[in-house]
């Protein structure tokens, strides 16, 4: 019996079967003549994977390439996985229900450290060996990409190759190379040797030095507008345009801010054209204007005004995430007609904000909040990070002071509306490729103490406090900073039952600790600080920003010295060797 | 008001009714059909559907009413079909003066279910009894339900079972009924092999195909 026939028997036994059947609007032609069939696997559920803009770009880019067909596979939920195993079915693609291991090339998107066990979960469902070295020539090359490749070491050995950087460049080149190698009847090993010569392709078996691949001209880079529109509800159920890539702010805790450099933008005309095409091709009610810091887009007002005219005609709402406090424009906010506002001051005091280079002053906070409250905001969400280097109790008290300030301002502007304030704190994790990469991760007890302090201090009327789980932050830190030895702990954790760790109901700290112990890995060494002279697990990857620059930033952090926004002056981080900043 | 008769076929048969409503409304936006919106604080499209088929059951007779300014039903049909995913194709369009309130007037549906093997003729005997109790699931709990007056017609022809079951305010789910038949008569009909072929409402004291009423 074929996979589609067998699926008929099990689809009605699982929750949300629409996740597994595809049939979305704008589905590319799966029957075109092709030389290469690629399957892109996403290490989380359909509703998360379908929301991911990066995978969306690569999926459509490959399908728009002559001779290439690309399909998708998502991590099936646990109920589906159990039925697949019980019925002897392998992991299959959504479009044609084909066995994933029968594709010519398989790509995994790894978005988040707590998805690492899902890599093993999906390899297990595919019915292949977990480690690339144990897989024979009959299994296609399985490669990985996504934001976690900043430090691919913990999961690199599961893959034949890891694509470092932007897939529009290195995935396209890899597929082209694979077609050529297959035509020449080259072995997988020979293909991987050739692949290691490409920019942004790290082959774990060779352990080659790799420079991150970057799209030089973002304005002319591929961006799909005839995108898949899912038939069921997904996490971010909207279309989106990408204003620019990279970030000019240089916040010292932010991995994305350093990783996505150099800064490259799309032009207003390009974005307006893409926005109109997306609205017409999808029928979505909402469109997101994406970037790491939307208000840094130089012609934001012009862009929003232009798109808004078209959006209003089509009854489409615009969503502008990632606005910064210092450049908050009440005018834009008024046009957005939002009743809720999210601010991320990240730290409670000016001193600590200087340490982390969050160039937001107390005066900015005051003026932005006053503006927002005047426009009748009913909900204010405030995001902070706890456990930052040099943090003291005074800094935590600063968070409480900001909350009190919002309440006072609300009274002063004389709004009759009730104001709800939500304060969320996450735990700082010193991530690779940031000036804080050498720092130690604070312990669970320290995390608990800080959260307790906040809980007690934020017992204020109409203030809701939520905090990020301490235990999962600790595991995330190990997985983000680990070396190749971690791979066996990931396999062990999966064998002990860890899967979908990023879903809080599934996360099991005790199993993770048991996995580290049983696999003989001293996880504590990845939580303690690294020496500046020590070679870091991710040093073999050249992400653009130089280690020297990061060290300089670390020194400045300890002196609470700010580095200006890259739009004001070039700070010489080194990323320009990958391509020029253009904004 | 334009009413479309559409399919729910293939992959789309596994999409829940709540999700189908969103699929339909996005389709209308893509088709640029000038749909009217409610006048409330959060305006929503004025569209109406008839009683949905259970998840997994296919259909050749779903109805979808659109309160819109467009009056050319053939043009709406064409644009709608160009803007919908596979499996949701419309097969007919009707112009109505006002909302036909399909969810309120429909009382029965015809279904065709095909098994892999010939079906027992005794299945037909369920119809016409004074009482016939089956086990069904209501809000997650197993309950007993007397379905005698909810079965209007049954006919077996080889591997195929033709059913006319109550649908609407008084409803007998085709999937529950077929599951009962599978259990009682040892049949192996898959839920995805059930197809709704028509919906019926009362007109002039007679059970009439909705399509006839809309014409």
According to DSSP, residue A14 is labeled: S
Mutate: best of A6, A11, A96, A279, partner B, most B CBs <10 A: A11
The bridge status of strand A286-290 relative to strand A239-242 is parallel
Mutate: best of B10, B16, B26, partner A, most A CBs <10 A: B26
| CB neighbour class for A29 (10 Å; exposed up to 12, middle 13-18, buried from 19) | exposed
Q: Which chain B residues in 49-78 lie under 8 Å from chain A, judged by CB atoms?
A: 55-56
- A281-325: per-residue pLDDT in tens? 999 999 999 999 888 898 988 998 899 999 999 989 888 776 655
Give the angle subtended at the CA of A170 by the CAs of A167 and A174, to the nearest 5°.
120
Q: Which of A509, A365, A9, A280 is nearest to B31 (CA)?
A: A280
**Residues of chain A positioned with their CB less than 8 A from the CB of B26:** 25, 229, 282-284
Calpha distance A166→B49 (Å, rounded): 45
Instruction: Give pLDDT, residue A320.
Output: 76
Over chain B (215 residues), the average pLDDT of each successive run of 10 is 95 94 95 92 90 95 93 94 93 92 94 93 92 87 91 96 95 94 93 96 94 92
Instruction: Give A286-327 as a 3 state SS string.
Output: EEEEECCCHHHCCCHHHHHHHHHHHHHHCCCEEECCCCCHHH
DSSP A240-304: EEE-EES-SS--TT-HHHHHTPSPEE--HHHHHHHHHHHHHHH--SEEEEESSSGGGSTTHHHHH
- H or E element that contains A442: none
- A451-464: per-residue pLDDT in tens? 999 999 999 999 99
In A, minimum Cα distance to B28 occurs at A283
Asked if residue A434 lies in contact with residue A253, where contact means CB atoms within 8 angstroms, the answer is yes
* Other residues' Cβ atoms within 10 Å of the Cβ of residue A233: 15
Secondary structure of residue A105 in the 3-state scheme? strand
**Residues of chain B positioned with their CB less than 8 A from the CB of A229:** 26, 85
Instruction: Give pLDDT, residue A322.
Output: 60
Instruction: Give pLDDT, residue A331.
Output: 56
Q: Which of A24, A102, A99, A36 is nearest to A70 (CA)?
A: A36
Q: Does A315 touch chain B (CB under 8 A)?
A: yes
Asked if residue A453 lies in contact with residue A411, where contact means CB atoms within 8 angstroms, the answer is no
- A371-413: per-residue pLDDT in tens? 777 777 788 889 999 999 999 999 999 999 999 999 998 888 8
B26, A17: Cβ pair inside 8 Å? Answer: no
Q: Does A30 touch chain B (CB under 8 A)?
A: no
Determine phi and psi for A314, rounding to 5 degrees: -100, 10
| CB neighbour class for A86 (10 Å; exposed up to 12, middle 13-18, buried from 19) | exposed
Q: Which residues of chain A have pLDDT under 50?
A: 328, 336
Instruction: Give pLDDT, residue A336.
Output: 46
In A, minimum Cα distance to B14 occurs at A18
Give the angle subtended at the CA of A110 by the CAs of A109 and A116, to the nearest 5°.
135
* Other residues' Cβ atoms within 10 Å of the Cβ of residue A482: 26
Q: Does B84 touch chain A (CB under 8 A)?
A: yes
In Å, how far are A249, A265, A283 from A550, measured between CA atoms? Answer: 14, 24, 44
Q: Does B23 touch chain A (CB under 8 A)?
A: yes
Provide, rounded to the nearest whole percent, the portion of chain A with pLDDT above 90: 83
Retrieve residue A368's tokens.
């932005």
């Amino acid at each position: 019996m074929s996979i589609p026939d067998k699926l008929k028997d099990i689809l009605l036994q699982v929750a949300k079967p629409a996740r597994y059947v595809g049939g979305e609007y704008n589905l590319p032609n799966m029957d075109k003549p092709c030389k290469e069939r690629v399957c892109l696997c996403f290490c989380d559920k359909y509703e998360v994977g379908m929301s991911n803009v990066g995978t969306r770009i690569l999926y459509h880019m490959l399908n728009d390439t002559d001779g290439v067909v690309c399909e998708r596979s998502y991590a099936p939920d646990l109920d589906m996985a159990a039925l697949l195993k019980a019925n002897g079915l392998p992991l299959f693609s959504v479009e044609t229900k084909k066995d994933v291991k029968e594709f010519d090339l398989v790509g995994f998107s790894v978005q988040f450290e707590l998805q690492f066990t899902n890599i093993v979960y999906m390899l297990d469902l595919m019915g292949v060996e977990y480690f690339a070295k144990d897989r024979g020539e009959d299994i296609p090359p399985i490669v990985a990409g996504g934001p976690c490749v900043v430090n691919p070491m913990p999961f690199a050995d599961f893959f034949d190759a890891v694509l470092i950087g932007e897939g529009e460049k290195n995935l396209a080149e890899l597929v082209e190379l694979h077609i050529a190698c297959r035509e020449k009847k080259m072995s997988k090993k020979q293909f991987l040797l050739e692949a290691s010569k490409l920019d942004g392709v790290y082959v774990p078996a060779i352990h080659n030095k790799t420079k991150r691949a970057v799209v030089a001209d973002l304005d002319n880079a591929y961006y799909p507008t005839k995108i898949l529109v899912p038939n069921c509800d997904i996490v971010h159920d909207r279309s989106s345009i990408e204003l620019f890539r990279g970030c000019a702010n240089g916040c010292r805790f932010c991995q994305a801010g350093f990783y996505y450099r150099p800064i490259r933008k799309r032009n207003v005309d390009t974005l307006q054209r893409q926005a109109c095409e997306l609205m017409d091709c999808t029928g979505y009610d909402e469109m997101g204007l994406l970037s790491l810091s939307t208000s840094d887009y130089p012609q934001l007002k012009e862009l929003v005004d232009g798109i808004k005219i078209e959006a209003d005609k089509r009854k489409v709402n615009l969503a502008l995430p990632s606005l910064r406090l210092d450049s908050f424009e009440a005018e834009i906010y008024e046009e957005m007609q939002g009743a809720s506002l999210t601010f991320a001051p990240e730290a409670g005091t000016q001193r600590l904000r200087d340490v982390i280079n969050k160039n937001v002053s107390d005066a900015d906070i005051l003026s932005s909040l006053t503006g927002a409250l005047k426009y009748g905001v009913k909900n204010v969400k405030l995001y902070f990070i706890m456990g930052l280097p040099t943090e003291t109790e005074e800094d935590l008290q600063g968070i409480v002071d900001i909350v009190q300030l919002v309440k006072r301002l609300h009274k002063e502007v004389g709004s009759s509306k009730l104001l709800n304030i939500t304060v969320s704190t996450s735990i700082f994790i010193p991530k690779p490729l940031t000036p804080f990469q050498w720092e130690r991760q604070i312990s669970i007890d320290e995390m608990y103490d800080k959260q307790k302090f906040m809980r007690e201090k934020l017992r204020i009327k109409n203030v809701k406090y939520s905090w990020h789980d301490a235990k999962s932050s600790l595991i995330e830190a190990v997985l983000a900073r680990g070396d190749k030895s971690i791979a066996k702990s990931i396999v062990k954790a999966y064998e002990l039952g860890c899967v979908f760790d990023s879903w809080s109901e599934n996360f099991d700290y005790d199993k993770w600790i048991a996995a580290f112990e049983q696999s003989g890995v001293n996880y504590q060494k990845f939580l303690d600080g690294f020496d500046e002279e020590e070679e870091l697990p991710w040093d073999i990857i050249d992400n653009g920003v130089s280690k020297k620059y990061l060290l300089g930033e670390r020194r400045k952090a300890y002196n609470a010295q700010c580095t200006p926004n890259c739009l004001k002056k070039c700070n010489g981080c080194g990323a320009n060797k990958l391509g020029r900043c253009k904004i | 008001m334009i009413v479309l008769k559409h399919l729910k076929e293939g992959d789309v048969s596994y999409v829940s009714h709540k999700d189908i409503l969103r699929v339909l409304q996005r389709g209308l936006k893509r088709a640029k059909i000038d749909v009217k919106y409610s006048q409330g604080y959060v305006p929503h499209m004025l569209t109406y559907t008839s009683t949905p088929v259970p998840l997994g059951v296919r259909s050749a007779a779903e109805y979808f009413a659109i309160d819109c300014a467009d009056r050319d039903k053939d043009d709406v049909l064409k644009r709608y079909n160009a803007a919908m995913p596979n499996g949701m194709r419309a097969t007919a369009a009707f112009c109505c003066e006002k909302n036909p309130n399909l969810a309120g007037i429909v009382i029965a549906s015809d279904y065709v279910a095909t098994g892999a093997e010939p079906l027992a003729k005794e299945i037909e005997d369920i119809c016409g009894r004074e009482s016939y109790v089956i086990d069904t699931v209501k809000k997650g709990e197993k309950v007993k339900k007397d379905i005698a007056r909810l079965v209007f017609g049954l006919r077996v022809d080889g591997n195929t079972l033709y059913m006319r079951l109550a649908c609407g305010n008084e409803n007998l789910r085709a999937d529950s009924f077929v599951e009962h038949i599978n259990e009682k008569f040892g049949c192996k009909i898959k839920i995805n092999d059930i197809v709704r072929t028509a919906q019926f409402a009362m007109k002039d004291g007679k059970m009439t195909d909705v399509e006839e009423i809309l014409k």
